[in-house]
A and B are shown apart, each in its own frame.
Chain A
Amino acid sequence: MYVIIVGGGNVGYYLAKTLVGARHEVLILEKDRIRYRTISEELGEVVMQGDGCEVAHQTQAGFGRADAVVAVTGSDDDNLVICQMAKLEHNVPRTIARISDPRNEQLFHELGIDATVSSTKIIYNLIEQEIGTGEVIPLAALSRGNIEIIEVEIGAKSPVLNKTIASLSLPSEALIISVLRDGHAIVPSADTQLVLGDNVIALVGADKEHDMRDVFQENA
Chain B
Amino acid sequence: MNIVILGCGRVGSTFARLMYNDGENVTIIDQQSEAFRRLGTKFRGNRIVGNGIDEDVLRRAGVQNADIFIAVTQGDNRNIMAAQIARMVFKVPKVIARIYDPIRADRYRQLGIITICTTTIASGLMRDFVKSGEWGLARDYSKEYVSLDV
Contact = CB atoms under 8 A, between A and B. Distances in A.
A77 B77 contact: yes
A85 B88 contact: no
B76 A81 contact: yes
A86 to B, nearest CB: 12
A4 B47 CA distance: 41
Given A77-B53, A81-B104, A110 B80 contact: no
Interface string B58-91: 0000000000000000011110111011001100
Interface string B20-64: 000000000000000000000000000000000111000000000
Interface residues of A, number: 17
Given A54-B101, A55-B103, A85-B107, A107 B77 contact: no
A103 B57 CA distance: 13
Contacts, number: 41
B81 A77 contact: yes
A81 B81 contact: yes
Interface residues of B, number: 18
Contact of A80 (B80, B101, B103): B80
A80 B107 CA distance: 14
Interface of A: 53-55, 75-78, 80-81, 85, 88-89, 101, 103, 107, 110-111
Nearest to A55: B103
30 contacts: A53-B76, A53-B101, A54-B103, A55-B103, A76-B81, A77-B77, A77-B78, A77-B81, A77-B82, A78-B77, A80-B77, A80-B80, A80-B81, A80-B84, A81-B76, A81-B80, A81-B81, A81-B104, A85-B104, A88-B107, A89-B107, A101-B53, A101-B54, A103-B55, A107-B84, A107-B85, A107-B88, A107-B89, A111-B84, A111-B88
